[in-house]
Amino acid sequence: MSSQSQNDTAKHFRTLHVPGKPLMLTNVWDAITANTIASLPGTKALATASFAIAAAAGLSDDDLDLDTNLRAVRIIAKVAAAHSLPLSVDFQDGFGADLEDGVRAVIELGAVGINLEDFGRETDGLYSTEAQCERIRKVLAVAREQGVPDFVVNARTDALFAGRDVDEAIQRGTAYLGAGAFNVFIWGGPTRQGWKREEVRRASEALGGRLNVILIRGKTGGLSVSEIGELGVARISVGPALMRWSAERIGEEAERILEKA
C-alpha cells in the first residue's frame, strides 16, 4: 500500500467516528476471527485486542511483548488489506523504549491507527499527563515521517482503573486530544461495574463526542449500543469479550463431544 493510499484509508477511518452514530468494533486476534468479522456486511474496520492476542500466544496481557503483537498484526493486516478495511492496532502502553520503532512497524504493516494507554507497565502506574502527551506527539511524528499524517491515535486513559475519578479521566482525555490524539478511550477497569449513563454523557460532552467506550457482555452500565450512541459517543469496542465467549462455547461443545465418546 502506498503512503498516499494508506493515508486515504486513515482519513476514511476518521470519518467513521461520528458522535451519536458510533463506529462499532468487534475486536479480533488472529486470521480466523479477522476473516470472519471482515466478511460481515456491517464491519467497517478491524481492530485488534491485545488481551486476546496475548491469550492466543499463551501469555498474560501484561506479558505481551512487541514481537508477539507484531506477528499477530502482520497476519491480521493481510486480512484487512484483502477486504479494504482500515486496521487499528491495540498497542498497549507503547512497549517502553520501543514506542517509535513499534509504531513505525505497524504502519509499515498497513495499520492506520493504534490504541495507546497511559498506564505504563514498566512503571506500574500512570504516566504524567504531559509525559503521555509527549508520547502521543512522538507517535504522530513517526506517522508523518511514514507518510500517514492522518494516523488515528485512540488515546486510552486508565485513570479510573488506577483509582482516580471521572474528572481526571476527562482532564487527561482533553489534554491528549490537544496533543493530537483523534479520540479518547476511557476504560473503567475490571473492578468497575461499567459506566453509569451520566458518566458517559458527561465525558462525551466534555470531549466533543470523541470518546470510545467498551461494551463487554451487558456492562457499560447496562446500556445497549443504541443507548450509548444516544449519549454522543463516537466509538464502541468489545475488547477481548468475543475471545472469552468463544472459548466458553468451544469448551461446552468439546465437553458434549467427549461425554458421547
Contact 70, 106 (CB under 8 A): yes
Contact 187, 173 (CB under 8 A): no
What are the per-10-residue average pLDDT scores of the chain (261 residues)? 84 98 97 98 98 98 97 98 98 97 98 97 93 98 98 96 93 98 87 74 97 73 83 96 94 95 73
Q: What is the pLDDT of residue 220?
A: 46
Q: What is the pLDDT of residue 12?
A: 98
Q: What is the pLDDT of residue 193?
A: 58
Q: Per CATH, is 6-259 categorized as 3.40.50.620? A: no
Q: What is the pLDDT of residue 224?
A: 83
Q: What are phi and psi of 111, to 5 degrees?
A: -65, 150
Instruction: List the chain domain ranges.
Output: 6-259
Local structure of residue 184 (DSSP, 8 states): E
User: Cell numbers at residue 177, please?
Assistant: 486530544
User: Cell numbers at residue 229, please?
Assistant: 450512541
Rounded Cα distance, 28 and 18, in Å: 22
pLDDT digits (tens, 9 = 90+) for 231-256: 999 999 999 999 999 999 999 999 99
